[in-house]
Amino acid sequence: MSESPRVLPEEKIKRLYADAKAYLIGRWEPRPGYEAPIVMKTEGVYFWDARGKRYLDFISQLYNVHIGMGNRKVIEALKRQLDELPYASPSYFTLPKIELAKRLAKITPGDLCKTFFGNSGTEANETAIKLAQLYTGRRKVIGFWDAYHGSTYASVSIGGSSRNRNYPSLSIFEEFKHIPAPYCYRCPFGKEYPGCDLTCAQFLEYTIEKEGEKSVAAFMSEPIISWAGQVVPPKEFWPRVRRICDEKDVLLIFDEVMTGFARTGKMFACEHWNVVPDIETYAKGITSGYVPLGATIINKKMADYFDEKGFPHSYTYSGHPLACAAALATIDYYFEENLVERAAEMGDYLMEGLRGIQDRQGVVGDIRGKGLFIGVELVANRETKERIVPKDLTPEERRSPEKNPMVYLSDLCKEKGLAIGSSPGTGILRMMPPLIITKEQIDEGLKILEEALEEMEKKFDLPKKR
Ligand SMILES: Cc1ncc(COP(=O)(O)O)c(C=O)c1O
């Protein structure tokens, strides 16, 4: 470790929490009295709070710090760029912007070739939707229920997750439609793979037909659908969807904001299915969180169209030199350190450890994912798959560690020094540590997780007997 983390006096910490409460707009779902860590230092797979407490980070901050924290190569590249050219108007070219666009064309699949840069995942998705609508001359876009694509309006509308769209006063775009995700563990069509002939994919075809031929611009999804439950579609699913999109003349947009950049054991998750989308979006791992950056890349036929017509879309910080320099250094690091292969190898190791926990702990219903993009579905009863989060909780109870086992579990893990992702509504635990994590660090995290699971089972009298 380079330097000891800065520890603040308790009085100052109390004042900071009071100021945070007074001046910052609150959490997604309010939890009175809950104190998120005040992060003072990050390094590798760890971070420290203002009391000097260390946390092992199994979620890479917000699923984005793929190369780990405090990477000197990226920090030095940023310093160099800051000295050389901190900013230029997006209407000019800069060396890092041109170089990064060229690099993306090289490392992305198929004929994806021209990029528009933004600042975040949601901007990348807004850009993708606009590109699809302008290119096709159609407004409708189809996505999955329960997916998340960002918090701005088009992203919320296509996202389909009730957690951010079920507010009657929000302007949700009605021309964005939804279908169920290919969630085999709880098939929405009550079928069982492989005997189902992919009813879920057929339902996309049906929906496109019902919406009206030539009225749908695009179908949009993550290759592995995180919010819907780290859902890994069967191997035939994306090739079938690609065929449907081609036959129906609908564009395929992959949101690889979370799955992109080595996370799943391939540079891009769509490579697991050998399917190339027409548009792909990136953020998070593209700079590994060091500086905000989003990117939307399109294929050749779309690029030719926009070369001729232009694209009426712009951000002041599009292609920011610092962000592009950070992305170039981050991408170099993926290749230098073989992080694609490492994610696959460490992902297998983490999966194996989780399967061991599943053998011992009855609340572990399903484990799924690819590389270091892993979800664990906890259940009250493994045979019946009864959900671990009781259905009848009020919104306040859903946020309470005394009532909701998922909240209790994630609070307990944090108390024990492990940051994990836990969805308070669905019973999914997300595990996406930095790709540089070692086997020893995985063991350290799994030990804490199993202890916390045992305590949670005791408190809530789980797993339920039939
Ligand atoms: C799949 C996916 N798309 C888009 C976004 C939005 O990215 P951002 O928070 O950078 O806007 C996220 C954020 O978690 C995401 O997971």
**Which pLDDT value is given to residue 431?**
97
Q: Distances in Å between the alpha carbon of 205 and those of 35, 180, 346, 460? A: 47, 13, 37, 43
Please report the atom of ligand 1 found closest to the CA of residue 122.
11
Is residue 122 in contact with ligand 1, taking CB distance under 6 Å?
Answer: yes
Question: 322 in a domain, yes or no?
Answer: yes
Final residue belonging to a domain, choices 300, 319, 336: 336
Model pLDDT for residues 133-175, shown as the tens digit of each residue: 999 999 999 999 999 999 999 999 999 888 888 899 999 999 9
**Which pLDDT value is given to residue 425?**
83
Residues 407 and 267 in one domain: no
127 contacts: CB under 8 Å, gap ≥ 6: 116, 118, 281, 294, 296, 313
| Cβ neighbours around 15 below 10 Å, total | 12
| Residue (of 435, 429, 426) closest to 186 by Cα position | 426
pTM score of the predicted model: 0.97
State the pLDDT confidence band at 466, using cuts at 50, 70 and 90.
low
Using the predicted structure, report yes or no on whether residue 1 has a pLDDT greater than 60.
no
Question: 271 in a domain, yes or no?
Answer: yes
Name the residue range of residue 237's domain.
72-336
Mean pLDDT of 356-369: 97
Question: 5 in a domain, yes or no?
Answer: no
Is residue 149 in contact with ligand 1, taking CB distance under 6 Å?
Answer: yes
Is residue 127 in contact with ligand 1, taking CB distance under 6 Å?
Answer: no
Tokens found for residue 135: 């290119």
In three-state secondary structure terms, 28 is coil
Q: Domain of 282: which CATH number?
A: 3.40.640.10
Instruction: Tell me which amino acid residue 450 is.
Output: E
Final residue belonging to a domain, choices 303, 336, 369: 336
Ligand 1 centroid, distance to 13 Cα (angstroms): 30
Is residue 269 in contact with ligand 1, taking CB distance under 6 Å?
Answer: no
Residues 137 and 285 in one domain: yes
Model pLDDT for residues 170-201, shown as the tens digit of each residue: 999 999 999 999 999 999 999 999 999 999 99
Tokens found for residue 44: 């590798």
**Which pLDDT value is given to residue 259?**
98
| Cβ neighbours around 25 below 10 Å, total | 4
Residues 352 and 314 in one domain: no
Residues 15 and 56 in one domain: yes
**Which pLDDT value is given to residue 3?**
79
Final residue belonging to a domain, choices 317, 336, 355: 336
Ligand 1 centroid, distance to 14 Cα (angstroms): 32
Q: Distances in Å between the alpha carbon of 354 and those of 167, 347, 438? A: 37, 10, 16
**Which pLDDT value is given to residue 161?**
87
> Please, what is the average pLDDT of the chain?
96
**Which pLDDT value is given to residue 26?**
85
Question: 389 in a domain, yes or no?
Answer: yes
Residues 97 and 186 in one domain: yes
Residues 271 and 386 in one domain: no
Cα–Cα distance, 461 to 466 (Å, whole number):
13
Structural domains in the chain (count): 2
Model pLDDT for residues 304-353, shown as the tens digit of each residue: 999 999 999 999 999 999 999 999 999 999 999 999 999 999 999 999 99
